[in-house]
């Protein structure tokens, strides 16, 4: 069984959230093309609807009736962010500078995720919040903001972006420093909107604009969704798979470096731009995988893909160590614990550590029943693990994949069935 040919993946989730938010703040109707159909982006659309922003589907795109920088309206009901941490945390920054009180809430997973990291960074802007402990629900008390100089204290694009969005609505300049470089979509997209914003020595400076122009965004494919295909191809000897029209932002490309470190043959070619972001194709030809050590900046640049790295490590020759990734414990699930439990259940040799895993690779897994921990990336990573298992891998909640990639299982199965039929012809 091999994976060959070319696939398209859904629009980038991180960029999609931002395109919707910036369109909502624009002067007049903006357009978002190529938006992914996943549950998290639906959460941002629904939240904006609750905030008084009309969004309608038109020819496969979304038209967003921008209400201007400070035109969001406080709903009487709590705003439901579903499973989406990005929706909730970015809205904290954006709503801090609006008029009224806004309660943000979400599902059981979101109610376990930390928010003080955001509210703390927003306090110097004059942001006011009511929250019991460190988790949603929380209430944002909107009001006038002043520009601030802040340190995020953590390499988190969500925290950094919340601060930049507060700065966008504030009076006077803002400077945001982060300890290591997290994904920079907010910065790129604000520059594409002609906002006076620049980054030097780990600090991003922003001068608030009087207004944001309405524009059309073309969202590139999501490299984090492509990663499941690339990992699948890397695990199937003889594969040669291309992902088309995918985002190639350097702050997101760590997983490609991991694949190369583990022995895969990977080519990434920038062919154009969308949303101020490089985009192009990635081609992977499989080769025998070997263990690797993933830590520091590389762990940060491949953070969302580390569940897949655990799968690759479980099936690579020798030892794989993932370190400096304690943030995985506060994602949609405790991904360190969830992946260690799921991979152990299918016969992998994996030890969970506070900030990652130590894994002894083997040729094939046994298969078995696994818990996806209500986490889309765990569910899809274990589906990929099933490609090199002697028995089936049975996932308790495969539908959770729809948070970022509806139809992934079906698309992968259809592609593999096609490959088998082709080889039998």
Options 80, 304, 305, 375; binder of ligand S3P; rule CB under 6 A = 304
Give 182 or 204: the residue with its C-beta nearer to ligand S3P: 182
**Positive or negative CA dihedral for 3, 5, 9, 15?**
positive
Q: How far is the CB of 53 from ligand S3P (least distance, A)?
A: 19
Site string for ligand S3P, 2-21 (x = CB under 6 A): ------------x-------
Give 93 or 386: the residue with its C-beta nearer to ligand S3P: 93
Residue 182 near ligand S3P by CB under 6 A: yes
Bond prior to 137 in cis (omega within 30° of 0): yes
304 is catalytic: yes
User: From CA 245, how far away is CA 130, in angstroms rounded?
Assistant: 42
**Residues in region 57-96 near ligand S3P by CB under 6 A:** 86
**Active-site residue, from 304, 324, 363, 375:** 304
Q: How far is the CB of 327 from ligand S3P (least distance, A)?
A: 5
Residue 161 near ligand S3P by CB under 6 A: yes
User: From CA 199, how far away is CA 224, in angstroms rounded?
Assistant: 25
**Residues in region 314-353 near ligand S3P by CB under 6 A:** 327
Give 332 or 387: the residue with its C-beta nearer to ligand S3P: 332
Give 107 or 304: the residue with its C-beta nearer to ligand S3P: 304
Question: For ligand S3P, how many residues bind (rule: CB under 6 A)?
Answer: 11
Q: How far is the CB of 159 from ligand S3P (least distance, A)?
A: 6
Q: How far is the CB of 59 from ligand S3P (least distance, A)?
A: 26
**Residues in region 90-129 near ligand S3P by CB under 6 A:** none
Q: How far is the CB of 390 from ligand S3P (least distance, A)?
A: 32
User: From CA 163, how far away is CA 150, in angstroms rounded?
Assistant: 8
Q: How far is the CB of 40 from ligand S3P (least distance, A)?
A: 9
Give 161 or 174: the residue with its C-beta nearer to ligand S3P: 161
Give 81 or 393: the residue with its C-beta nearer to ligand S3P: 81
Hey, how many other C-beta atoms are within 10 angstroms of the C-beta on 172?
12
Residue 178 near ligand S3P by CB under 6 A: no
From the list 1-9, 150-158, 242-250, 310-318, the region that binds ligand S3P by CB under 6 A is 150-158
Beta-carbon contacts of residue 131 (< 8 Å; ≥ 6 apart): 115, 116, 119, 137, 138, 139
Residue 303 near ligand S3P by CB under 6 A: yes
Give 235 or 258: the residue with its C-beta nearer to ligand S3P: 258
Specify the length of the chain in residues: 425
Q: How far is the CB of 104 from ligand S3P (least distance, A)?
A: 16
Residue 158 near ligand S3P by CB under 6 A: yes
From the list 3-11, 154-162, 188-196, 354-362, the region that binds ligand S3P by CB under 6 A is 154-162
In this structure, are residues 3 and 241 in contact, taking their beta carbons and an 8 Å threshold?
Answer: yes
From the list 75-83, 128-136, 152-160, 311-319, the region that binds ligand S3P by CB under 6 A is 152-160
Q: How far is the CB of 353 from ligand S3P (least distance, A)?
A: 19
Q: Which residue has the tokens 């994976």?
A: 3
Enumerate the active-site residues: 304
Binding site for ligand S3P (CB under 6 A): 14, 86, 156-158, 161, 182-183, 303-304, 327
């Amino acid at each position: 069984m091999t994976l060959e040919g070319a696939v398209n993946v859904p629009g980038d989730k991180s960029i999609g959230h931002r395109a919707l938010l910036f369109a909502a703040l624009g002067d007049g109707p903006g357009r978002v093309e190529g938006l992914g159909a996943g549950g998290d982006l639906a959460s941002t659309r629904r939240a904006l609807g609750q905030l008084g922003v009309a969004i309608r589907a038109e020819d496969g795109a979304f038209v967003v009736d921008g209400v201007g920088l400070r035109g969001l309206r406080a709903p009487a009901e709590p705003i439901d962010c579903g499973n989406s941490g990005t929706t909730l945390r970015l809205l904290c920054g954006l709503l801090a500078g609006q008029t009224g009180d806004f309660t943000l809430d979400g599902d059981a997973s979101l109610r376990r995720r930390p928010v003080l990291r955001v509210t703390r960074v927003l306090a110097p802007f004059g942001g006011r919040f009511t929250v019991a402990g460190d988790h949603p629900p929380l209430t944002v008390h909107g009001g006038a903001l002043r520009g601030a100089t802040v340190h995020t204290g953590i390499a988190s694009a969500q925290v950094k972006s919340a601060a930049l969005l507060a700065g966008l609505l504030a009076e006077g300049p803002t400077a945001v420093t982060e300890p290591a470089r997290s994904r920079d979509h907010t910065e790129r997209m604000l520059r594409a909107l002609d906002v006076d914003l620049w980054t030097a020595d780990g600090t991003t400076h922003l001068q608030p604009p009087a207004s944001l122009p309405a524009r059309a965004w073309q969202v590139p494919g999501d490299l984090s969704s492509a990663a499941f295909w690339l990992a699948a191809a890397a695990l199937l000897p003889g594969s040669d798979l291309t992902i088309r029209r995918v985002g190639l932002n350097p702050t997101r490309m760590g997983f490609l470096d991991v694949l190369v470190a583990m022995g895969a043959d990977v080519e990434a070619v920038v062919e154009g731009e969308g949303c101020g972001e490089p985009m192009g194709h990635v081609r992977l030809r499989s080769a025998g995988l070997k263990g690797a050590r993933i830590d520091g900046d590389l762990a940060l640049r491949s953070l969302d893909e580390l569940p897949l790295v655990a799968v690759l490590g479980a099936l690579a020759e020798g030892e794989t160590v993932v370190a400096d990734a304690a943030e995985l414990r506060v994602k949609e699930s405790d991904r360190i614990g969830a992946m260690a439990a799921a991979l152990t259940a299918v016969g992998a040799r994996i030890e969970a550590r506070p900030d990652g895993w130590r894994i002894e690779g083997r040729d094939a897994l046994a298969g078995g029943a696994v818990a996806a921990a209500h986490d889309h990336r765990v569910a899809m990573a274990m589906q990929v693990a099933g490609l090199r298992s002697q028995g089936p891998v049975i996932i308790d909640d495969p539908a959770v994949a729809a948070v970022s990639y509806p139809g992934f299982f079906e698309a992968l199965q259809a592609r593999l069935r096609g490959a088998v039929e082709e080889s039998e012809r």
